[in-house]
Amino acid sequence: MYTLSLVNLLTAGVLLARSTFALPQNVAPPNPASSGGPLLDETANDFQKRDGKHITSSADDCKLDFADEWSAGRSRGAPFCASQVKNGLFVKGFFIYSGSAKGPGPFGVPVDFFIISGMTVLYSNGDYTNIGSQTGTKNYVEWDVSKASVTKINLNPPSLEKDVRLTDIRIVGPNGRAMGGFEAILERAGEKNVWSDNTWDTKYKTPIHGPIVGVAGKTGTYGIETITFYTLNAKAKKSVIHDVKFSPSLEELNGRSGNE
């Protein structure tokens, strides 16, 4: 009886901690019934055909006082920055990678945790910055920055109010979406109980909108554990007119007689 009770307790622990465990390696195609736009795939060969090069951003590149910022997740890991707006480049999309990492589970038994293992930030000129590990389940979202911007971003947790690491991310663009973490792997496996679009928006929607100019955060044992998105302000705080040119020039006008 004691052995049976222990097994039951372990089973209950697994069910309660369902959101922390990884699925088998072989995953099925995306669930076509899921909402929020399609998950887009691109093979490694397709990605290598892009003309851009990898860019390593410095910490100063993410000192963006002119931008709005929104952060979620907690971490003591290594900081990262992905921004080239100071070189005139906007973020035009993301690859998001999902995987697993070993960690302590119920009763101290090691288990596999779902993680956002890495991300590739795409810039408007085709260059990119890799964050974390580019391995595992992958999907992407991309848009034309001259015509559109990100539609919405959902994060779990949705803010810094909870002192926990980032476990899920969904970035929705005009033509599709990219996901990372627990829900992304569930959807790939054809799991029926994935979050609906309404669930994402009710519990995890953030006020991130507008052109994205940078991404920062920290990576640790569980991949990307905290993240900050930088976007252009919805309302300009000030405007500056500079490099004004007249034709004819002021010198030419001053040199003319009053009869001209």
Mean pLDDT, the chain, integer: 80
Cis peptide before 32 (omega within 30 of 0): no
Residue 36: inside a domain: yes
Q: Count Cα neighbours of 191 within 13 Å in the Cβ-side half-sphere.
A: 19
Q: What is the pLDDT of residues 177-201, one digit of tens each?
A: 899 998 998 888 888 788 999 999 9
- Put residue 243 in one of left, alpha, beta given phi > 0 → left and psi -120 to 50 → alpha: left
Q: What angle do CA 29, 33, 14 make, to 5 degrees?
A: 70
Residue 11: inside a domain: no
Residue 4 is predicted with a pLDDT of 34
Entry pTM: 0.75
Residue 257: inside a domain: no
Residue 175: inside a domain: yes
Q: Count Cα neighbours of 210 within 13 Å in the Cβ-side half-sphere.
A: 16
The CATH number of residue 67's host domain is 2.100.10.30
Residue 126: inside a domain: yes
Q: What is the pLDDT of residues 114-173, one digit of tens each?
A: 999 999 999 999 999 999 999 998 999 999 999 999 999 999 999 999 899 999 999 999
Q: What is the pLDDT of residues 75-131, one digit of tens each?
A: 999 999 999 999 999 999 999 999 999 988 888 899 989 999 999 999 999 999 999
Residue 246: inside a domain: no
Domain that holds residue 111: 18-235
- Tokens for 6, please give them: 């222990």
Residue 118: inside a domain: yes
Residue 5: inside a domain: no
pLDDT over threshold 50, residue 31: no
Residue 24 is predicted with a pLDDT of 37
In the chain the first and final C-alpha atoms are separated, in Å, by 109
Structural domains in the chain (count): 1
The share of the chain scoring above pLDDT 90, in percent, equals: 53
Classify burial at 58, counting beta carbons within 10 Å of its beta carbon; exposed 0-12, middle 13-18, buried 19 or more.
exposed
